[in-house]
Amino acid sequence: MSADSPPPLVASIGPYTLPSNVVLAPMAGVTDRPFRVIARRFGAGLAASEMITSDVRLWTTAKTQRRMDHVGEPEPRVVQLAGADPDALAEAARRNIDLGAQIIDINMGCPAKKVCNRLCGSALLTDEALVAKILETVVAASSVPVTLKTRTGFRRDERNGVRIAQLAESCGIAALAVHGRTREDFYDGAAEYDTIREIRSRTRIPLFANGDIDSPQKARSVLDLTGATGVMLGRGAHGSPWIFRDVNYFLSHGKNAPALPFAEVSATILAHLESLYDFYGEETGVRVARKHLGWYLEKMQDAPDVRRELMAASTSASQFALSKKSLDAWVQAREEIAAATWGGIAASG
């Protein structure tokens, strides 16, 4: 660690001391069990499930059943719940705890129209009395820590994120994650962190800053600006689950991590594909894999021009075979370039 680089902060939630203060944001359609496992392997301190409805009548669907599947997942296991009825959320929390959830997270940050139209997600920020009732009821019903994911407010001209945070602390919430946008912002513009800094100055519970953190340097600057306990990465992890490795290294050493070997990048992508096929089955696995393959290609330097073919592949066998062939060629080309570059440097030296 360099002399001018502060040590990474230790993040604890209830009885759990996290291995890192850099955590994965829950994202519907992204943070399924296969992706959570990969993120944790690369150093994410925590990885919450995709959002699960508090309406237990809908839990028989294949989608919800998969979202409640934590087999082989590293601890502590986090389940995120969405809803607007305090008693329904409390019952959903109890049932998930019985199924192995070790932390319950409440979603008050989702900006999606279909969620907000039901007064769920970030729409709850418009009713602070209801927020208090939900938090009090779920905390009282839960034998594990309860955390909250929220935004800086519902509207730009009425940011109430500080009041929500103080309310959360008073209700017994164990940790808070705040996205630096209002619901009105959706994902437009740039995240602002001044509200998160004010929340930090007015609360004492662990606080994770979220929004537009897509590099180790950005993580460091957000931590320095806000004084937050840690950072939560969402879209920055699309196509690069190893970003947790890179951020952890930068926070600890004050410099960039050595580049991940090209062969390890390839092996990670292929292992991810196999885990998706196994988790979802043939048809859904291929469809979900297309999304991740697109993100991987976007992040890869000199990525092979096979996106169209990969998106057209209709079976797991054809999709995997094309991915492996393309990645093998990419690894060989990148390693040859690297060898030539270092050979030239050695000769000139």
Report the catalytic residues. Answer: 110
Give the number of other CB atoms < 10 A from CB of residue 252. 16
End-to-end alpha-carbon separation of the chain, Å? 28
How far apart CA 167 and CA 31 sit, in angstroms, is 28
For residue 286, the tally of other CB atoms under 10 A from its CB is: 21
CA atoms within 13 A on the CB side of 139: 18
List CB contacts of 287: < 8 A, sequence separation 6 or more.
none
Determine the Cα–Cα distance for residues 297 and 231; give it in Å rounded to an integer. Answer: 25
Instruction: For residue 206, give the nearest of 180, 237, 232 by alpha carbon.
Output: 232
C-alpha–C-alpha distance, residues 63 and 48, integer Å: 16
Contacts of 335 (CB under 8 A, 6+ apart): 262, 263
Residues 107-135: b if buried by 16+ CB within 10 A, e if exposed: bbbbbbeebbeeebbbbbbbeeeebbbbb
Among residues 337, 218, 243, the alpha carbon closest in space to that of 20 is found at 243
| Structure tokens belonging to residue 211 | 């929004």
